[in-house]
Amino acid sequence: MEPTLKGKTALVTGATGGLGTHVTRMLLAAGATVAGLAPQIRQSDFDHPAFIPLAAEVGSFESAKAAVDTAVARLGNLDILAHLVGGFAGGKRVDEMDDGTWQRMFDLNLNSAFQLLRAVIPHMRRAKTGRIIAIGSRAAVDPGPTLAAYNASKAALVSLVRTVALENKAAGITANVILPGTMDTPGNRQSDPKADFSQWVQPATVAGLILWLAGEQAKDVSGAVIPVYGAGL
């Protein structure tokens, strides 16, 4: 791969996940120095001299700020944020929904992004440059039944990222959100083994779009909500 991001630095959250592995490897192959964030991440997960493991969580502002400050100290600056952390739960109607499931979906899909953005944006504003890419879901704009907490949390994430794009357009920062359909990851295959996997979105496709959004060629793209629905549409 041509090193289109040579000299750039990136923070990838959920770096060891089904999508995160592809994103981290693509960014490294493109020449970026990458700090990969996950609770149990190790150097051996990505045997690359430009990879920095960051064993952390981003559930609170304090933990997010500590993780981002550590990443910036190790990287020198922060050009790219690829926020991939999220979760899924469903199976109950709204009137059957419990508080725990509702709160868990908002913590994983919205609040983690909010805390991370609070920590990252000041660094990017000082540098007057930055690329922010978040992973939403098709469910944000095309909600399905018995998925209320997931649908609503992903829809709120879209609104949050678009607001960040508006607030920081004069600061040289772009912010975009990708809405994949069901991705062909090991976890999704395990949860739905009878599905037609050929209809699912390939993680490498989403990772390639993240790579493009992180580059100079996407400098005029901000506030975009990009559907990637796969063959099934």
- Euclidean distance between CA atoms 213 and 229, whole angstroms: 18
- The pLDDT of residue 3: 60
Instruction: Categorise residue 31: left if φ over 0, alpha if ψ from -120 to 50, beta otherwise.
Output: left
- The pLDDT of residue 43: 96
Q: Domains of the chain, with CATH numbers?
A: 9-228 (3.40.50.720)
Report phi then psi at 93, rounded to 5.
-70, 165
- Helices 148-167 and 99-106 cross at an angle (nearest 10°) of 30
- The pLDDT of residue 233: 65
- The pLDDT of residue 82: 98
- The pLDDT of residue 1: 52
- The pLDDT of residue 8: 97
- The pLDDT of residue 70: 96
Question: From the first residue on, what is the mean pLDDT of each consecutive set of 10 residues in the chain (233 residues)?
Answer: 83 95 97 96 95 94 96 96 93 94 96 97 97 97 95 98 98 97 83 84 94 96 95 68
Q: How does DSSP assign 17-61, residue by residue?
A: STTHHHHHHHHHHTT-EEEEEETT--GGGS--TTEEEEE---SSH
DSSP label at residue 202: P
- The pLDDT of residue 197: 86
Helix, strand, coil fractions of the chain, as percent rounded to 5? 45, 20, 35
